[in-house]
Amino acid sequence: MDRQKTTGAMSEADLAQMLSQVRTGDSEAWGELYRQYAPAIFRFCRRLLPAREDAEDATTEIFVKVRQKIGTYDSSRPFTAWLYKVASNHCWDMLRRRRIRQDLETGDLEALPLEHPDPGQLERLQKEHTGKEVRAGLARLPDRARMALVLRYFAEMSYEEIADTLGVRRAFVGALLLRARHQLRDQLSGGSARTVAAKPAGGRKQ
Amino acid sequence: MSPSDDLLRNHFDEVTGLLYLERQLDESRAREVRAHIASCAACGQLLNALESESVWLKEALTTDEESIPARVITVPEKKGTHWGWITAFGLCAAGLYTVWNGLVAPAFAQASQAGFSQGNLFTMLFFQGAFWRGWDTMRNMTELLAATTLTGVAIWLLRKQWQRFTAITFVMGALVCALSVTPVARAADLEHGDPSYTLPAGQEIKTDLIVVANRVRIDGDVDGDLIVMSQSVVVDGHVKGDILGFGQELRVNGPVDGNVRAWSQAISLNSTVGRNVMAFGGVLELADKATVGGTMTLAAGTTNLDGRVVGDLLVFSGDIDINGFLGHDAAIRADRLTIGSNAEIVGQTKYEGRRQPDIAAGAKLGSPIQITIPKRGPDYTRMSYYWHRVLLWGASFLFGLLLLLLLPGFFADAVQATKRVGPAMGFGVLFLFATPIVAIIACITIVGLGIGITTFLLYAIALYSAPIFVGSWLGEQLLGAEVGLGPTIGRLALGLAILRALTMVPFAGALIAIIVVVWGLGALVLTLHRKMGPHVAGTA
């Protein structure tokens, strides 16, 4: 899956032309751009924010920002990456305003289990749970864990972009993602996933 | 031992596996991992499981099961929004101006006529601070009740969403209102009758006197205010401040230098009141030798005015007999008005009632009485009736437009909520009756007065807005659910017009109006509950 899949197909040439028109203040081009990308941004916000109304409000506010900042967009970079960056910053700010963020990076690292998970258990988990259940489990994760998974697996952001958005070191992003996966597994399995971790023969982790 | 040998002997951890899969390892490290998995089935299985988990996550996150809301699909129009806000603010300002000129200013004017010269509504409600002069001694009772009420309301409002700004604002606003109307406390003499209380003749209380007893008799003097709650109160002594009385019967035979405010089944004034009288009761009598130095504001079943009133008279009464002297204007709304032969009214008299007044031949009137006999029920033959309906529709439409422009998301949700007819009707009935009861209870606790008044105001707004949501729903049934501001306004206008027309139908119209209010109120409650309730993140 690539970013275009979540934002709808549009050729690069068409997009470039549309963006240049938007920069000149062309309302019709802006409308087209909005129609093209607003649904994806709404879905993105919907994955991150607590309520549908919040996602609606956030989508509107994000596009207000996009329109204001379109002049600063570097056309050498993918537009969707820039768009998701604006959106993720906005959503992260919203979440931060609402509650105290978990800033203990090392805490997350220390919480990672030493053993390998049981691959069979992981496969069973994937077979037993529908996409809806996964999304419900995701909704119950701490903000940063949810944010990390959505940025990576929905918006397909790079580790650098995720680190920048969440304000963490780049080297920590992998651990953050893995920790988020563990938390999601725990949510879906009711906490049993951690207990079934298998230790490979002769193994201690490196 | 080379790192590669080390890897071959020891399995890599899960983070390394994930970083390898996501191509985040540098090339030399990736090569080591590749070499390891070539000879280690367990780590190979782990990588496969992690990879399939990545795919599983992507699919779950990108699957679309939830529709995109119309509000998001519609392109926000920069210019339209700008003018929308200007229009909304304009309408809001116009509405406030109208409410001020039409309701608040006249109310203040009436209050001023009745002697509430400060022009402060809250002060009026607190009877110019008289009630609170005994705060020090009454605090145990009132503080406990008030604190309990406020805590209960606060917990109820904030039970789920402490971070919800609106709820906090509401509670804090109510608290500010409540606190802002609390005057400075003063000491007072508090007496509890056992079961009755008598202030003997010749004794004088040098401060305010607060009495709670079965029967109260004040033969002595009070050099302050008299606040009394009793079944029967007789005041023969001299009260140099105000009288504030609650009870079954209040009889004032001694002079009062200040005001008399009374809530009693029977109120009898037989002496001189230096300032104003405001009374609510079953029967009210102003004896022929009694004099009121200021104005009288009365709401009573039966009113007999045989004495003198120097200032204005404002009466809402079933029957009223005037056989005394009125030194100023009189505004009377009653079922029946009788003006006796001894009556003298110096100023203008306005009367509105169901019957023609009965005026004795010897009565002296400063000017002819202005009489208004309202016709019962709508007069379908008059154009003014239809014009009035059109104006009501216009006012309702403007209010709906304001809601739509200011709170488009809430408006759409409330219209959606009307489609849940059963729950909406159920909640509508519940809140229609429960809200005023809760508001009255809040008002009774005095400190909760701010909350009570706020609740009443919100209740009135909710009742007024209820037909707007039902009207929009009706419009949607007839015109379809096309997205956009224009179609939404069209649906609102048509729906409200039809509802307004339906309420004009004789007999059935009233029933329809009630159903619409209940339905719309319920939808509003459902929407508010949804907005304020706990939310679960995107589980589309």
Average pLDDT over residues B362-379: 81
User: Worst-scoring range by mean pLDDT, B124-128, B292-296, B502-506?
Assistant: B124-128
Average pLDDT over residues B447-452: 69
Among A68-82, B65-79, B465-479, the range with the most confident prediction by mean pLDDT is B465-479
CA distance linking residue B6 with residue B298, whole number of Å:
99
Assigned fold of A3-98: Rna Polymerase Sigma Factor; Chain: A (1.10.1740)
Report the DSSP pairing between strands B364-365 and B204-205: unpaired
Q: Which residues of A touch B22 (CB under 8 A)?
A: 159, 174
CA distances from B380 to B50, B78, B383, B497, B505 (A): 78, 46, 8, 17, 10
Chain B, window 285-344: residues with a beta carbon less than 8 angstroms from a chain A beta carbon = none
**Smallest Cβ distance to B63: which of A53, A131, A181?**
A131
CA distance linking residue B327 with residue B296, whole number of Å:
11
- Cβ(B362)–Cβ(B342) below 8 Å: yes
A17 φ/ψ angles, rounded to the nearest 5 degrees: -65, -40
Q: What is the ipTM of this complex?
A: 0.79
**Smallest Cβ distance to B62: which of A6, A113, A146?**
A6
Q: Which residues of A touch B536 (CB under 8 A)?
A: 50, 136, 139-140
Q: Is the Cβ pair A126, B65 closer than 8 Å? A: no
Question: Domain residue spans in chain A?
Answer: 3-98, 115-196
Cα dihedral value B400, B402, B405, B407, nearest 10: -80
Q: Is the Cβ pair B11, A203 closer than 8 Å? A: yes
Q: Write out pLDDT tens, residues B283-310.
A: 999 999 999 999 999 888 899 999 999 9
CB-defined contacts A:B, below 8 A? 172
More confident residue, B195 or A55: A55
The answer to whether domain A3-98 and domain A115-196 are alike in fold is no
CA distance linking residue A105 with residue A137, whole number of Å:
22
CATH of domain A115-196: 1.10.10.10
Q: How confident is the model at residue B441 (pLDDT cuts 50, 70, 90)?
A: confident
CA distance linking residue B251 with residue B265, whole number of Å:
11
Å between B409 CA and nearest CA of chain A: 7
CA distance linking residue B225 with residue B184, whole number of Å:
15
Q: Catalogue the long-range contacts made by B503-507 (C-beta closer than 8 Å, 24 or more residues apart).
A: B504/B378, B504/B389, B506/B378
**Chain A interface mutation, best of B16, B23, B36, B61, highest count of A Cβ atoms under 10 Å:** B61
Average pLDDT over residues B40-62: 87
Which residues on neighbouring strands pair with residue B240, listed in sequence order? Answer: none
B195 upstream amide cis, omega within 30 of 0? yes
Nearest to B450 by CA among B51, B171, B264, B103: B171
Whether the pTM exceeds 0.90: the reply is no
- Cβ(B219)–Cβ(B200) below 8 Å: yes
Q: How confident is the model at residue B88 (pLDDT cuts 50, 70, 90)?
A: low
Q: Which residue is associated with the tokens 């978990």? A: A102
Q: Write out pLDDT tens, residues B173-224.
A: 555 554 444 444 445 667 766 778 899 999 888 888 888 888 899 999 999 8
Average pLDDT over residues A134-140: 87
Which residues on neighbouring strands pair with residue B291, listed in sequence order? Answer: B272, B308
Average pLDDT over residues B488-492: 88
Task: Supply the pLDDT for residue A204.
Answer: 38
Q: Is the Cβ pair B61, A154 closer than 8 Å? A: yes
Report the DSSP pairing between strands B291-292 and B308-309: parallel
Residue A202 CB neighbours (<10 A): 10
Q: Is the Cβ pair A154, B540 closer than 8 Å? A: no
- Cβ(A77)–Cβ(A37) below 8 Å: no
Tokens of A90: 């906005």
Task: Supply the pLDDT for residue B259.
Answer: 92
CA distance linking residue B318 with residue B336, whole number of Å:
7
